[in-house]
Structure 1
Amino acid sequence: MKHGEQKAPLGPEPWGVMAVLSVIGFLLIGGMLTSLSVYMSVMQPHFRWSEAEMGAGPVALLLGMSAGNLVVGPAMRAIGVRGLFAFGAGMAVCGWIAAGFAGALPSFMAAMVLAGLGVGMATIVPGIAVISQSFHQHRGLAIALFIGGCALASATMPMISGRLIEALGWRATFWTIGAAAGLICAGLVHVLPRTLCETCGGDGAEEPGLTREQALRKPGYWLLAIVLTISQLSLNAILFNLIAYLQHSGFDQADAVKIYSITNFMSLPGLVIGGLASDRISARILLPVILALQAAGTLALLGVGGETLWQGRVAIALFVMIWGSVAGLPAQAGSMLLTEMIGQRAYAAMLGIIFTINGFVGALAPVAVGWAYEASRGYALPVFCLGLLTLLASFAALFCRNEQCAPAVAAPAN
């Protein structure tokens, strides 16, 4: 071993940690969060839920996930990285299995809250925090590949869930996916470091950047939170209503699920390109561009219900290529921008607050779109409003400035 390589024995290799986190995210995000729309399309006629009631399940899952995001920082300090992921994955699995026993909307929502809590505590926020601390080079690519694993799950797991529902029924599919995720995650969490110290090679006290109190006083931090919240609201609205929207536009369920999965798959090349770019270009430049493309892709959906066949095909193609390619990038670019703005000292806690805010607001999206659909008798109005809001967020992102002005020893780490 050469001089200066003393950090290697302290914990697992960063790329190995990233791979494990990606598999856990694949199972929990893909098998639960992004597959829920497939379950709901079958459960709605079974329980005779209205459009607004159908959005209650996703809302409960997203609210639980947002609450889980909020406790990531304190929980990681209290029980460590390995303990946090083990507890979160176990909670998600219990909630998903419980959903298979649901007999009415309230019990189903309770199961989704439990699953959401676990998903929030064992996927995106803690995963990005661990990767951000572990990588000093290629950080943007590593975060992009991690989110890309979740995007790959979003492309494949809905189709797998759909096939399982056809073969086993929706209740047995809840149990099967939950049991499989539990067994795999139970084996994987032992590979993770016990604490962040094992990945960063220190105790975190000397990490440069702002303290939590300093970051909370910065207008740029709150502007970034608003921008990412608007983006997440729009993403959730499309994500959880796309299958229903396509079915109302004349597609059968199989074709709608296929388009949904292809759209999610398109985020993989987008994430790789975005990850490579973010290691070379400031996220302050990339984030507004990404949000503008998200807005354009959202507005492309307005052409799906066109009178001519070619118009609908062009609209679907534009949506899949544009929206799909950037769907995973706001979280990646926003996380990178937060690092530029506040540094690493309070990064996990501040990232958790942002994801909690946009999670709670974004959780309203499925029900809000359902209400808007019933009020306007169509999807055109909510889709137009979502596209316009995202465009405004793109403009606002131009003013998210670097707030990191405190030296590393200005105050105790939070």
Structure 2
Amino acid sequence: MGLAEGTSTLAPAQIRKTATVTVGLLMGVWVIDYVDRVMMAVALPFIGEEFALTKTEQGWLITAFSLVYLLCQVPGGILADKFGARRQLMVSLLLWSVFTALTGIAWGLASLLVIRALFGVGQGLFPGASFKAIAERTTPAVRATAAGAMLASNQLGAGVAPLIVAPLILALGWRHTFWVTAAAGVAIGVLLWKLLPKALPAHLNGSDVVQDKGTGLGAVMRSPSVWKFAALFCTTNMLGYGLITWVPSYLLEERGISLINTGVMSAIPGLVACATVFLGGWLFDHFFHDRVRLYVIPLLLVTAVLLVLMLMADSAVGFTVYQTLAMGVAGLSSMGILGMPVRALPPAVIGSGMGVVNVGGQVAGVLAPVLMGFLVDKFSYTAAFGLLIATTVLGALIALIVPQRPEQFSLGTKELA
């Protein structure tokens, strides 16, 4: 009998197909997700010029989204756990496509702030639902690899966005560019609705792990392990948000690179990181699922060294080479940071659990754009990028206290016999 009939016994090929199709569809949505986010960074110099915005005000356009996105993580995870992934994925995608389109009709800073905040609501419902979809449609043994593939598309989106957005802005203007990407979001949403497979049976995806009395969301919120990984994700995610937001402006303004060349140079690090995030999930599943500190700490320290070399580079090419290496190594570490909670949390609470972890990551999204914008206004781009070195080293220190193995991940759960 087939998956659509809800049987409890599936052939290995069917299990693999379910995981593959799910990951492929979610990768497509995450790519659109990140194109929609990164395009604001590419458009910032033009938006700033049109509305006479300071760098700090431009940073607030990113932070307004990030703050609301952060606040929606836990509610989004709770809703995904309660109602399932499929419907919420669609609602999220359609909402953010609407507000992407509305960005193109903004008339000033205030309207942009409101629209980007509402855009954050649409996108904020998505991560918890996507992790829920992965948990329901994969086995625990390959879950970090699947999540790594899905999250690698973040970097793919970040990489291809400048290549797509820069020519579109030159050809159509920044306003029309937002309308084009909104239409792409609607199209991928239709595909997701039609093609997303049904969930695997409970004994295959781990849903037969049940919560002890008195646990659930409360246990997630009280778990020290969840909050340790949230703190770790916060410090390390400063790097991604900081570079995505400010490297395009830096290359245009400080290095005198053309918009098209800026798009190409901004794309390269993201594309490399896409491959390393995927590789990181595979390495974690196969070799480091019970040695997360040994995996994460050296990679973060190497990343910090590469960022120092990036700041010391005397050319735009040298800057991009070291940025690419830094983001590549950081990409490897990311699935040690996210792979442990993805592997350890039961599917019944993975939406809310990963929502809490992602809150930490999105605190970085709130802080990095505006703090770095402030540092550029008051000091220099060197000071702004220096902040990222400090937060990466802090992440390595926090990694010293995270649990090493899934069984150390406290949540108060037990398996059914």
TM over 0.5: yes
- Alignment partner of 1:154 is 2:158: yes
Assess, with a 3 A threshold, how the Cα gap between structure 1 residues 121 and 327 changes in structure 2: closer, same or farther.
farther
The partner residue of 2:296 within 274, 287, 293 is 287
* Shift of residue 87, structure 1, vs aligned partner: 0.5
SS in 1 for 2:414: coil
1:268 maps to 274
Q: How does 1:238-387 map to 2 (within 5 A)?
A: 238-252=243-257, 253-280=259-286, 281-282=288-289, 283-304=292-313, 306=314, 309=315, 313-320=317-324, 322-339=325-342, 342-376=345-379, 378-387=380-389
- Alignment partner of 1:14 is 2:19: yes
* Shift of residue 275, structure 1, vs aligned partner: 2.0
Distance 2:165 2:63 in 1: 20
* Shift of residue 20, structure 1, vs aligned partner: 0.9
Distance 1:120 1:228 in 2: 16
The partner residue of 2:63 within 56, 59, 77 is 59
Q: Which runs of 5+ in 2 are unaligned?
A: none
Contact preservation (8 Å) 1:237, 1:369? yes
* Shift of residue 74, structure 1, vs aligned partner: 2.1
Contact preservation (8 Å) 1:29, 1:153? yes
Contact preservation (8 Å) 1:85, 1:121? yes
* Shift of residue 176, structure 1, vs aligned partner: 1.4
Contact preservation (8 Å) 1:207, 1:344? no
The partner residue of 2:85 within 81, 86, 93 is 81
SS in 2 for 1:93: helix
Contact preservation (8 Å) 1:228, 1:358? yes
Q: How does 1:116-155 map to 2 (within 5 A)?
A: 116-122=120-126, 124-136=127-139, 137-155=141-159
* Shift of residue 208, structure 1, vs aligned partner: 7.2
Distance 2:169 2:238 in 1: 28
- Alignment partner of 1:400 is 2:402: yes
Distance 2:169 2:21 in 1: 33
* Shift of residue 267, structure 1, vs aligned partner: 0.8
* Shift of residue 105, structure 1, vs aligned partner: 0.9
SS in 1 for 2:209: coil
The partner residue of 2:224 within 205, 208, 219 is 219
**Which has a greater percent of helix?**
2
SS in 1 for 2:105: coil
- Alignment partner of 1:111 is 2:120: no
* Shift of residue 180, structure 1, vs aligned partner: 2.2
- More displaced, 331-340 or 258-267? 331-340
Assess, with a 3 A threshold, how the Cα gap between structure 1 residues 215 and 260 changes in structure 2: closer, same or farther.
same
The partner residue of 2:42 within 38, 41, 45 is 38
Distance 1:221 1:89 in 2: 27
Distance 1:29 1:264 in 2: 11
Assess, with a 3 A threshold, how the Cα gap between structure 1 residues 221 and 276 changes in structure 2: closer, same or farther.
same
Question: Which amino acid letter does the alignment assign opposite residue 379 of structure 1?
Answer: Y
Contact preservation (8 Å) 1:91, 1:118? yes
Contact preservation (8 Å) 2:94, 2:185? no
Distance 1:200 1:159 in 2: 44
2:189 maps to 185
Distance 1:352 1:41 in 2: 32
The partner residue of 1:25 within 30, 33, 43 is 30
Q: How does 1:161-200 map to 2 (within 5 A)?
A: 161-193=165-197
* Shift of residue 118, structure 1, vs aligned partner: 1.4
**What do residues 315-370 of structure 1 show as CA deviations (whole Å, max 9, x unaligned)?**
431221x2221344454322212245555442221210121233134312111111
Assess, with a 3 A threshold, how the Cα gap between structure 1 residues 78 and 214 changes in structure 2: closer, same or farther.
closer
**What do residues 386-406 of structure 1 show as CA deviations (whole Å, max 9, x unaligned)?**
202211211220220123474
Contact preservation (8 Å) 2:248, 2:263? yes
Distance 1:295 1:384 in 2: 10
Assess, with a 3 A threshold, how the Cα gap between structure 1 residues 403 and 276 changes in structure 2: closer, same or farther.
closer
Distance 2:92 2:345 in 1: 27
- More displaced, 230-239 or 256-265? 230-239
Contact preservation (8 Å) 1:151, 1:268? yes
* Shift of residue 409, structure 1, vs aligned partner: 5.9
Distance 1:82 1:239 in 2: 29
Distance 1:221 1:26 in 2: 26
Contact preservation (8 Å) 2:307, 2:323? yes
Assess, with a 3 A threshold, how the Cα gap between structure 1 residues 67 and 42 changes in structure 2: closer, same or farther.
same
Number of positions where the alignment pairs a residue of Structure 1 with one of Structure 2: 399
Contact preservation (8 Å) 1:285, 1:398? no
SS in 2 for 1:408: strand
**What is the CA RMSD across the aligned residues, in angstroms?**
2.9
- More displaced, 97-106 or 245-254? 245-254
Question: Which amino acid letter does the alignment assign opposite residue 408 of structure 1?
Answer: K
